[in-house]
Amino acid sequence: MISLGLLIGLLIIIAAILIAALSKPLNLHKNFYIKLFFVLFLLSSISEILSYLTSLSIFSIAGSMSFFFTVAFVLLHSSEVLGNRKTAIFFIIAFLFGLISELLSVIYGLYYYTIPSFFFGMVPLATPISWVFIIYVSYILADLFLFGFGGEKPKKTDNLWFLLGLLILTSSISGLIAVNLDMILDPISISPNVAQWVYSTVGPYFGVPISNFVGWFLVTTLVVFIFRCYEVLSSSKDFKIELNTYSYLYIIVVYLIYFLFNAVKAFNLGRIEYILIGTTTMMPFILIGLLALILYKKREDMIR
């Protein structure tokens, strides 16, 4: 039987899908809904963070919706940035790569989940969905770095070696953005008080095997590389809207919220070293993103 919380969460995601699909035929102001869902994402995420610091049930209740508002916001954001067709393609590629990598890891005994699993009794429902929005955030941040420092997306008309180099470089940056997030996420998730999954072999990084980070890098890099190749090859008529400055800022904030959420969990576990690691791995991408955003905005203002 579906719980009330899950039902509400599914309705939130369905609402975002309908807004994305019907905004053009119904002439809906999609940017309004992106802002609305971003605010709801912020409020629910902050509530979830506060639920680890206080016993007030209101924060736990509101925080339980943060996952669904994250999915809904990312979906609408991508719909505006990439268009609905490219959003579907990106989400399908990321979902399949995330799910297959998780299934193979469990099948070959690298780890197993201790929480209820949905896919073949091995992988929780939320896991491949989480892969989708983590990879999307990593993809957008790499685009921000590219645009912020005066570059542009690779095109079919570019020199072949330049094109290939830029595709590999931007995809690898996305891979590192995702890995650096996992540097704080994974040690917390396998700690005895949390234990969402268990590794068969204790690794050298707070119990996490190095192969885990290699996997994170490869999955994210491959997904982004495949999608960027599709972008290069796709028709110029394909629906696309460029990001505005605020849309970039939204994604930086999402990445920052990830850090704060895991930092609070690390604090509760008494593992301050995880917070220090998260600060040194994630904050540079946040600060470079803000710098790129400032430069991008300045260049936009000069053009106007």
Q: What is the pLDDT of residues 208-251, one digit of tens each?
A: 999 999 999 999 999 999 999 999 998 654 444 455 778 889 99
Taking the C-alpha atoms of residue 58 and residue 61, their distance in angstroms, rounded to an integer, is 5
- pLDDT digits over 246-283, tens only? 888 999 999 999 999 999 999 999 999 999 999 999 99
What is the pLDDT, as a whole number, of residue 298?
A: 81
Whether residues 278 and 168 fall in one domain: yes
Whether residues 5 and 127 fall in one domain: no
What is the pLDDT, as a whole number, of residue 243?
A: 53
Whether residues 139 and 268 fall in one domain: yes
Whether residues 159 and 291 fall in one domain: yes
Whether residues 255 and 298 fall in one domain: yes
Domain boundary pick from 62, 82, 102: 82
CB 113 within 8 A of CB 123: yes
Whether residues 115 and 185 fall in one domain: yes
Domain that holds residue 202: 85-303
Give the helix/strand (H/E) hosting 28: none
Whether residues 72 and 198 fall in one domain: no
Which tokens hold the place of 227?
């999608």
Taking the C-alpha atoms of residue 114 and residue 196, their distance in angstroms, rounded to an integer, is 5
Alpha helices of 65-83 — where are they, by DSSP H?
Answer: 66-82
Q: Tokens 């234990």 identify what position? A: 195
Give the helix/strand (H/E) hosting 13: helix 4-22
Whether residues 111 and 171 fall in one domain: yes
Whether residues 95 and 41 fall in one domain: no
Domain boundary pick from 42, 59, 82: 82
The pTM score is: 0.94
Which tokens hold the place of 196?
């969402």
Torsion of CA 8, 9, 13, 16, to 10 degrees: 60
Domains of the chain: total: 2
What is the pLDDT, as a whole number, of residue 300?
A: 74
Residues lower than pLDDT 70 in the chain: 1-2, 235-243, 303-304
Residues in CB range of 74: below 8 A, 6 or more apart:
132, 133, 136, 137, 254
- Dump the DSSP string for 133-189: HHHHHHHHHHHHHHHHTT-----TTS-HHHHHHHHHHHHHHHHHHHHHHHHHHHHHH
Domain boundary pick from 59, 82, 105: 82
